[in-house]
């Protein structure tokens, strides 16, 4: 685990490394519930109305709050960091730059809380007993599967995917030097699944090239989890000092 910018308690360090919760069934159960909900939302939105989309957004916020109700304060703050950063990225790269587009040329109301659920699901998988007990093997499988997918995208795929290869390199870097290898293993599974489902349903589509016209993009990009890894990294590094600062402020008021 890499250094962070503020001292952390043992409990906080455990959450950061994916070991902050007991290795029972809660991890996989939380991940399964989050994925099931997001899958249902994507399926309903595939041919639904704009008002249905907004209703799904409100419901997804409710699901996220329920899931976070049993989490530690650090995990809640990590999730909040992911939601804020991911929302800014969504509005920049979808409506503004049109790197990928949604059906109504907007950012659906469920996307922001959905990013929070994706983070919680990745964290839950990462702290599961199976991943923690076989972390080296799981990391190797992720690199092997992701590497084959990325190489295929720039060699044999009908639609070239240079962006996917770049993001896979990011993922490999996170697995080698990132602060939480279990989290990135979970992120690969969750993000890859959702990208495949979302694009297959037509909920969103990636453009063939980036705005410069120089970088080709698959639909979905093969290494999307590597791009999402930046959200995870910011959450892991920013949340502990933010939480420590908040605790000092509240302690001073008391």
Predicted confidence (pLDDT) per residue in 69-90, tens digit:
989 999 999 999 999 999 999 9
Please tell me the predicted confidence (pLDDT) of residue 11: 42
Mean pLDDT for 115-122 is 96
Mean pLDDT for 176-197 is 95
Please tell me the predicted confidence (pLDDT) of residue 254: 55
Q: Looking at the predicted structure, is the pLDDT value of residue 194 above 90?
A: yes
Mean pLDDT for 135-161 is 97
Please tell me the predicted confidence (pLDDT) of residue 146: 97
Q: Looking at the predicted structure, is the pLDDT value of residue 28 above 90?
A: no
Which is more confident, 234 or 3? 234
Please tell me the predicted confidence (pLDDT) of residue 238: 94
Mean pLDDT for 164-189 is 96
| HSE value, Cβ hemisphere, 13 Å, CA-based, for 190 | 33
Q: Looking at the predicted structure, is the pLDDT value of residue 139 above 50?
A: yes
Please tell me the predicted confidence (pLDDT) of residue 250: 83
Please tell me the predicted confidence (pLDDT) of residue 253: 67
Please tell me the predicted confidence (pLDDT) of residue 12: 44
Distances (CA, A) of 73 to 2, 59, 140, 183, 192: 21, 22, 31, 18, 28
Please tell me the predicted confidence (pLDDT) of residue 95: 95
225: left (phi over 0), alpha (psi -120 to 50) or beta: alpha
Q: Looking at the predicted structure, is the pLDDT value of residue 175 above 70?
A: yes
Long-range contacts of 27-31 (CB under 8 A, 24+ apart): 27/124, 27/125, 27/126, 27/127, 27/128, 27/129, 28/124, 28/125, 28/128, 28/130, 29/124, 30/67, 30/120, 30/121, 30/124, 31/120, 31/121, 31/122, 31/124, 31/125, 31/128, 31/186, 31/190
Mean pLDDT for 157-162 is 96
Mean pLDDT for 94-101 is 96
């Amino acid at each position: 685990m890499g250094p962070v910018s503020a001292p952390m308690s043992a409990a906080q360090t455990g959450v950061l490394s994916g070991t902050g919760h007991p290795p029972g069934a809660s991890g996989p159960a939380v991940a399964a519930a989050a994925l099931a909900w997001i899958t249902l939302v994507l399926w309903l939105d595939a041919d639904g109305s704009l008002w249905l989309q907004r209703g799904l957004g409100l419901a997804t916020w409710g699901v996220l709050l329920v899931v976070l109700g049993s989490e530690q304060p650090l995990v809640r703050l990590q999730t909040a960091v992911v939601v804020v950063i991911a929302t800014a990225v969504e509005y920049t790269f979808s409506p503004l730059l049109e790197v990928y587009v949604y059906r109504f040329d907007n950012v659906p109301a469920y996307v922001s809380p959905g990013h929070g659920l994706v983070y919680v699901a990745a964290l839950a998988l990462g702290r599961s007993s199976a991943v923690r007990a076989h972390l080296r093997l799981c990391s190797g499988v992720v690199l092997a599967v992701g590497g084959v997918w990325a190489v295929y995208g720039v060699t044999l795929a009908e639609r070239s995917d240079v962006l996917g290869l770049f993001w896979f390199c990011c993922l490999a870097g996170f697995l080698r030097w990132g602060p939480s290898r279990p989290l990135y293993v979970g992120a690969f599974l969750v993000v890859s699944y959702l990208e495949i489902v979302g694009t297959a349903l037509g909920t969103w589509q990636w453009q063939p090239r980036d705005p410069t016209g120089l970088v080709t993009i698959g639909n979905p990009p093969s290494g999307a989890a590597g791009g999402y890894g930046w959200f995870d990294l910011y959450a892991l590094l920013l949340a502990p000092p933010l939480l420590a600062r908040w605790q000092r402020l509240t302690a001073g008021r008391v």
